[in-house]
Amino acid sequence: MAPRPCHRFERILLVVLDSVGVGGAPDAAAFGDEGANTLLHTLEHFTGSLALPTLQRLGLGNIDAYPGVPPAREPLGQYGALVEISAGKDTTTGHWELAGLTLESPFPTYPTGFPDAVLAELQARMGRRWLGNVPASGTEILERLGARHAETGWPIVYTSADSVFQVAAHVDVVPLEELYRICAIAREILRGPHAVARVIARPFAGVPGAYVRLAGARHDYSLPPPQPTVLDSLRADGVTVTAVGKISDIFAGTGIDESHHTGSNDEGMDVLERLVATDSTGLVFVNLVDFDSAYGHRRDPRGYGLALAELDRRLGELLPKLSATDLLILTADHGNDPTFRGTDHTRERVPVLLYGRGLAGGVDLGVRRGFGWVAGTIAALFSLRWPGQPGSLVP
């Protein structure tokens, strides 16, 4: 039986706005990211014309000064920022730290491609040659090698500034199950010194000049967390953990009771609304991927801003549907400034906004060192014995 939660909250909705950083990480210069500020520079692109009324009412504009998002006089929520302490700025590192696991060493990256020995073993085991093995964006690599892939049947291997090994294949050339088999083989190979955070299957369709990546059929093969997270502690105490989006992939399924894979922000919000309409309890852990994958990496500030506005609209519809025992936590896992050089993530602070009918509003949480504050807060609300970073909030 699940423990009786504190503060009358029976369900926590933890929503990660993938890459929505708010600048100012103390060690940004060490990552080459000094001056990056995803939210500020996205809103500046609209010269103050983009309004985010729901996020503004929750307290987003009280964290810092943002054009078009002034401070709320009486914020509905509690607001603040978190500083990452793990050695990295990738999706896996950020989410693991939100769940209470801090990494002291970064995952390996391959700015010049993967070693010959890795690709030779992959080729021998999958029974096919390969194309690429270069850092590239997902759309650019398809335009460059898609036609050759269709001619040969050889999958496209590529990476990015993140710790990822990505394999792209046209669904009419390499069936999905075969692509998944190839990625599972790559995951087995990429261990030890080459233990990248994620191997990603990237199926696509279409014709040259009009290729379309099939986000709903994407599959991530992540390393399992090396130590238990707050998700494991919740399950051990009988608290249900429901994953939405790529959360289950990020945690390699550990600590997860139920998973709903989605391919976009809209799909993620649709699932969240359906879950809110039920009488479920426990933790609902959501990743909204479009900010990062569709706009941040592609350096598209306009698309990024419009996605924020659409999220704001969806949140405005969601808040009245929350029950008296629901707590909403909005945060992020890293930055990805769409106006910055390159296409990499950016080392930034992330926002944290909390809202619930049973929670005092207008509370400045300040700047908290460690994303693990989120895990500690969740543990406290569900009365868990948690050895990690403590959380805190005003009930």
Residue 77's alpha-carbon distances to 7, 19, 63, in angstroms, are 15, 21, 12
187-220 confidence digits (pLDDT tens)? 999 999 999 999 999 999 999 999 999 988 999 9
pLDDT band of residue 5 (cuts 50, 70, 90) is very low
Structure confidence at residue 1 (pLDDT): 38
Q: Residues with Cβ < 8 Å from 320, sequence gap 6 or more?
A: none
Burial category of 127 from C-beta neighbours within 10 Å (exposed 0-12, middle 13-18, buried 19 and up): exposed
Q: Of 16-20, 136-140, 182-186, which range is least confident?
A: 136-140
Contact by Cβ (8 Å): 283, 295: no
**6 pLDDT above the threshold of 80:** no
- For the four alpha carbons of 334, 39, 326 and 259, in that order, the dihedral sign comes to negative
Query: For a pLDDT cut of 70, what percent of the chain falls above it?
Result: 97
Structure confidence at residue 162 (pLDDT): 84
Domains plus CATH for the chain?
Answer: 6-101+225-381 (3.40.720.10), 116-222 (3.30.70.1250)
**98 pLDDT above the threshold of 80:** yes
Structure confidence at residue 2 (pLDDT): 44
Contact by Cβ (8 Å): 36, 28: yes
Measured CA to CA, the distance from residue 283 to residue 241 in angstroms comes to 5
Q: Residue type for 6, please?
A: C
Q: pTM of the entire structure?
A: 0.91
247-296 confidence digits (pLDDT tens)? 999 999 999 999 999 989 999 999 999 999 999 999 999 999 999 999 99
User: What average pLDDT does range 133-152 have in this prediction?
Assistant: 94
Structure confidence at residue 393 (pLDDT): 65
pLDDT band of residue 395 (cuts 50, 70, 90) is low
Structure confidence at residue 14 (pLDDT): 98
**61 pLDDT above the threshold of 90:** yes
Structure confidence at residue 7 (pLDDT): 53
Measured CA to CA, the distance from residue 305 to residue 256 in angstroms comes to 32
Structure confidence at residue 382 (pLDDT): 93
